[in-house]
Amino acid sequence: MKTVKSIDFHRGAGAVLFDLDGTLVDSLPDIIASVRLTEKELGLAGCSGAEICHWIGNGAKVLIRRVLAGDMDSIPSDEALEKTFSVFMRHYAVQGIKLTSLYPGAESVLQSLKEQGMPMALVTNKPKVITVDLIKKLNIEHYFDVVLGGGDVANPKPHGEMLITAAEQLGVAVKDCLMVGDSSNDVQAARNADMPVVAVRGGYNHGEAIELAEPDGVFDCLADVFR
């Protein structure tokens, strides 16, 4: 697919918003490890790594709801959810940045955009404190002018609030920003914000081809988006 033509990637003309998990970093190993520690502590039946991969993307609490329920949509009791989520977050706070790594070429893209003077934001449903710790560990925090994580807005992705807030903080019109993600969650958030959006293959999209979400462009890797 072709790139979005409404975005001018020259200095001072637009901004780029990036998702984190599945777009810039492979965080699945840490998420699976944190779920395993939670299951072991609470004596929960184990779910598969493939199921965990399919269930991530809507924030940590939604993931744990799905782990408890064993599917995408069932709802466990509030008491069970809160207890399990608390245990998961305790483990994830320690484990969440141990195994996560940047995708090949991701930092080169960030560096190139930074050198062009492109304003950039990170918009992720990952808990904010873990997001900040992770991007510091990976030494990419300096690329982002704005970092928004879980808890920073009332309505996480796929609501458009996080993207609109990032654009406002960057001082760039929403229509002049480009959202780059890997899932239908990112595409829907961009649609709800009335923002152009492209997606990369190979991320975390609930086991479905990202083409089904109908972004404005689909690419094999980040480098292809900005060629």
Beta pairing partners, 48? none
Cα separation, 59 vs 81, in Å, equals 14
Of 40, 12, 14, residue with least CA distance to 3: 14
DSSP secondary structure, 69-106, as one string: HTSSS----HHHHHHHHHHHHHHHHHHTTTS-EEPTTH
Cis preceding-peptide flag for 158 (omega within 30 of 0) = yes
Of 19, 21, 186, 216, the active-site residue reads 19
* 176 belongs to the catalytic site: no
Cα separation, 203 vs 210, in Å, equals 9
Phi–psi pair at 106, nearest 5 degrees: -65, -45
- Active-site annotation, residues: 19
